[in-house]
């Protein structure tokens, strides 16, 4: 036992959580809450790594999964690890694929916890036995076909003298038979079913990596499926579903028809902004990998903060307040709250914004923008308000530390008194960098999205810091999609080939560009 895991006197609680079949959104609400409160998360190969983003800062990640060629930890070692972590006073989330009670060996883990007086809870999950067929368009029961099903382990050694299954009863007891972990024993399973009364013409489906971007489905009959699997080199992990309900796939398949099905999309936005784009990608059937290469924060340098505070404490002086991003709105009002400055001191100012999202955030705070520009960037904003600008007017621009100089320069040329303040700063973020680099190298990322010039430059920098000599070569193996011409220009300057650019610099337009990509 390591020094960090020495008994603390106070025992932690272990949550034995079913993480669902793979799609991270199929975890239960309680399961997600347990991850968020855990001091340590113990997970395996079948639990989506995307769930780890919900961990609290400083929580420990411990991978104990089994790979095809090796065992990271034996089950007995995993059991003891959970005990040791809890005795060290840690709250532990043990993530297991599917439902922990269905061939998940949760009983063994719970027994040792009980023996050591460690409090635990079993948090049920959605088993792959029902969810994976559903994602392949196969309901496991149907009034016209069957009202019964059996869930069976397929992980039996054909060389055993006796099977633990009573095939004479199992073969025809239910209309639907679902075998988990049975690909390597498929021929044996087929032989037993047919030998004990199941028709060779019974439909069969194998579904590999169900509910994930790699989902693959193979359909046949008991008489043909073994040869089909051999010809297709169809590998585990996959479930086997036997029964007439398989016929429904032809009309009910829905997931594989989505426009981004089979595509893993890298989202490089700041974490505070990434969720909206990730959700839209998920809705289109893709898998969003959130890799926030930008971290936004309030300015930390005293001089910069003092300049900002001075401007906010004289809001009544300004004729214009111009917001160029949703982040500018958020951090502007956050600092007002910290300073306890009444926004009504801005009574004289006309407020204008770049883009509908920025205007929407202002409207939520009871402030209506003067007008929206046609082009959602500084040039468009200037064009929209130009008829109302008068030399001598005072304009406040609450912006990012890396914002372009175009707008303040042009306003000054027009004779306005311009005050630029940094309400937030952008720094490089590299959480999950090792995992993302590995995915890029393995060709597991199909599309890379950029939502600002800084996401381009920051991603290039992060990849270099993590040993990638030529990031452009690696990224150009993916489809590169940029939000608007400025971001695309930065991407091209960094050696990237821009495959698609959104018509407007908005998330809606970017999603439309993604939706239009060829399957």
Tell me, what's the pLDDT at 39?
97
> Which of 292, 265, 464 shows the shortest CA–CA distance to 472?
464
242 has pLDDT over 90? yes
The arithmetic mean of pLDDT across residues 277-295, rounded, is: 89
Digit-coded pLDDT (tens) for 61-99:
998 876 545 556 788 889 999 999 999 999 999 999 899
pLDDT of residue 401: 81
Answer yes or no: are the C-beta atoms of 78 and 97 closer than 8 Å. no
pLDDT band at 507 (very low <50, low <70, confident <90, very high): confident
Active site residues: 44, 66, 181
Contact present, 232 and 226 (Cβ < 8 Å) = no
Percent of residues in the chain assigned helix, strand, coil, to nearest 5: 40, 20, 40
pLDDT at 463 over 70: yes
Best CA proximity match to 296, nearest among 273, 278, 275: 273
What's the Cα-to-Cα distance from 186 to each of 89, 122, 153, 209, 518, rounded to whole Å? 45, 32, 12, 17, 35
Residue 161 has pLDDT above 70, yes or no: no
Question: Would you state the pLDDT for residue 239?
Answer: 96
Residues with Cβ < 8 Å from 126, sequence gap 6 or more?
A: 18, 20, 21, 26, 27, 28, 98, 99
Mean pLDDT for the chain overall: 89
Residue 325 tokens read as 């991003």
**Per-residue confidence (pLDDT) for residue 9, from 0 to 100:** 65
Question: With bands split at pLDDT 50, 70 and 90, how would you rate the model's confidence at 7?
Answer: low
- The pLDDT > 70 percentage for the chain reads 93
Residue 1: pLDDT above 60? no
Neighbours of 215 (CB within 10 A): 21
pLDDT band at 163 (very low <50, low <70, confident <90, very high): confident
Distance CA 92, CA 75 (A): 17
pLDDT at 432: 72
Q: Give the span between the Cα atoms of 455 and 433, in whole angstroms.
A: 14
Structure tokens at 224: 């043909």
Instruction: Specify the pTM.
Output: 0.77
Which H or E run contains 505?
Answer: none
Question: Which CA distances in Å does 76 have to 65, 109, 121, 418?
Answer: 13, 8, 19, 67
pLDDT of residue 517: 81
Q: How confident is the model at residue 156 (pLDDT cuts 50, 70, 90)?
A: low
DSSP string, 437-464: HHHHHTT---EEEESSHHHHHHHHHHHH
Instruction: Give kind and range of the element (H or E) at residue 327.
Output: helix 326-339
pLDDT of residue 518: 77
The whole-number average pLDDT for the span 195-213 is 96
**Does 500 have pLDDT greater than 80?**
yes
46, pLDDT greater than 90:
no
Question: What pLDDT does 506 receive?
Answer: 81
**pLDDT for 511 beyond 70:** yes
Q: Are strands 350-353 and 264-267 parallel, antiparallel or unpaired?
A: unpaired
Give yes or no for residue 351 having a pLDDT over 80: yes
pLDDT number for residue 5: 57
Which backbone phi and psi does 91 adopt, to 5 degrees?
Answer: -85, 125
pLDDT reading at 157 higher than 70: no
Total H helices, total E strands in the chain = 19, 22
Cross-strand pairs, 95: 17
Query: Whose CA is closest to 498, among 473, 471, 516, 476?
Result: 476
pLDDT > 90: percent of the chain: 67
**Predicted confidence (pLDDT) at residue 128 exceeds the cutoff of 80:** yes
Cβ neighbours of residue 429 closer than 8 Å, sequence gap 6 or more: 270, 271, 292, 293, 294, 295, 458, 462
Q: Which residues pair with 350 in a beta bridge?
A: 320
Q: 345 and 316 in contact (C-beta within 8 Å)?
A: yes
- Spatial separation of the C-alpha atoms in residues 201 and 506, rounded to whole Å: 53
Domains, the chain: 11-125 (3.40.1010.10), 130-257 (3.30.950.10), 264-293+429-515 (3.40.50.10090), 300-426 (3.40.50.10090)
Counting every residue written for the chain, the total comes to 519
Give one DSSP letter per residue of 380-393, joined into a string. Answer: HHHHHHGGG--TT-
CB 208 within 8 A of CB 240: no
Average pLDDT over residues 215-238: 96
Q: What does the block give as tokens for 109? A: 């883990």
| Residue whose structure tokens are 């009002």 | 333
**In which band, very low, low, confident or very high, does the pLDDT at 425 lie, cut at 50, 70 and 90?**
confident
SS (HEC) of 96-154: ECECCCCCCCHHHHHHHHHHCCCCEEEECCCCHHHHHHHHCCCCCCECCCECCEEEEEC
Q: How confident is the model at residue 377, as a pLDDT? A: 66
The set of residues, in sequence order, having a beta carbon less than 8 Å from that of 33 and lying 6+ positions away, is none
Residue 472 CB contacts under 8 Å (≥ 6 apart), including other chains: 460, 494, 495, 496
Question: What is the structure's pLDDT at 8?
Answer: 54
- 508 pLDDT tier (thresholds 50, 70, 90): confident
pLDDT at 290 (0 to 100): 87
Could you tell me the two tokens for 375? Answer: 């082009």
Q: What is the pLDDT of residue 67?
A: 54
pLDDT of residue 295: 80
Query: Per-residue pLDDT averaged across 222-243, rounded?
Result: 96
The per-residue pLDDT for 373 is 64
């Amino acid at each position: 036992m390591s020094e960090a895991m020495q008994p603390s006197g106070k025992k932690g609680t272990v949550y034995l959580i079913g993480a669902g079949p793979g799609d991270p959104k199929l975890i239960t609400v309680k399961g997600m809450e347990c991850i968020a409160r855990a001091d340590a998360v113990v997970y395996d190969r079948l639990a989506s790594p995307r769930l780890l983003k919900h961990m609290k800062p400083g929580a420990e990640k411990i991978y104990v999964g089994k790979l095809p060629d090796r065992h990271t930890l034996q089950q007995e070692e995993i059991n003891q690890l959970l005990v040791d972590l809890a005795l060290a006073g840690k709250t532990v989330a043990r993530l297991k694929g599917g439902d922990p009670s269905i061939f998940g060996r949760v009983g063994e883990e719970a027994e040792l916890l009980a023996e050591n007086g460690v409090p635990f809870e079993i948090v049920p999950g959605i088993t792959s036995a029902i969810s994976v067929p559903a994602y392949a368009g196969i309901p496991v029961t149907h009034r016209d076909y069957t009202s019964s099903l059996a869930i069976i382990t397929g992980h039996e050694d054909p060389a055993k003298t006796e099977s633990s299954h009573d095939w004479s009863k199992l073969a025809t007891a239910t209309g639907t038979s679902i075998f988990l972990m049975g690909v390597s024993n498929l021929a044996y399973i087929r032989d037993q079913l047919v030998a004990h009364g199941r028709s060779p013409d019974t439909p069969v489906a194998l579904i590999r990596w169900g509910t994930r971007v790699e989902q693959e489905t193979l359909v046949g009959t008991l008489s043909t499926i073994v040869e089909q699997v051999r010809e297709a080199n169809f590998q585990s992990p996959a479930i086997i579903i036997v029964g007439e309900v398989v016929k429904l796939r032809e009309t009910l398949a829905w997931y594989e028809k989505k426009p981004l099905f089979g595509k893993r999309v890298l989202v490089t936005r700041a974490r505070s902004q990434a969720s909206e784009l990730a959700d839209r990608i998920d809705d289109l059937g893709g898998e969003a990998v959130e890799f926030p290469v930008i971290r936004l924060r309030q300015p930390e340098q005293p001089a910069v903060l003092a300049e900002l505070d001075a401007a906010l404490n004289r809001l009544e002086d300004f004729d214009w307040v111009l917001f160029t991003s949703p982040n500018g709105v958020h951090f502007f009002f956050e600092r007002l709250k910290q300073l306890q400055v009444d926004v009504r001191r801005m009574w004289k100012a006309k407020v204008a914004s770049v883009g509908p999202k920025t205007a929407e955030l202002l409207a939520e705070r009871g402030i209506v923008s003067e007008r929206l520009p046609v082009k959602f960037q500084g040039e468009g904003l200037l064009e929209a308000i130009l008829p109302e600008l008068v030399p001598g007017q005072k304009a406040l621009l609450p912006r990012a530390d890396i914002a372009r100089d175009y707008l303040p320069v042009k306003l000054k040329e027009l004779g306005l008194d311009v005050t630029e303040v940094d309400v937030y700063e952008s720094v490089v973020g590299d959480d999950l960098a090792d995992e993302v680099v590995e995915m890029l190298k393995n060709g597991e990322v199909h599309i890379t999205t950029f939502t600002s010039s800084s996401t381009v430059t920051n991603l290039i920098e992060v990849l270099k810091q993590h040993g990638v000599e030529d990031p452009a070569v690696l990224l150009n193996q993916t489809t590169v999609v940029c939000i608007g011409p400025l971001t695309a220009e930065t991407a091209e300057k960094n050696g990237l080939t821009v495959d698609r650019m959104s018509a407007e610099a908005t998330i809606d337009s970017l999603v439309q560009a993604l939706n239009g990509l060829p399957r």
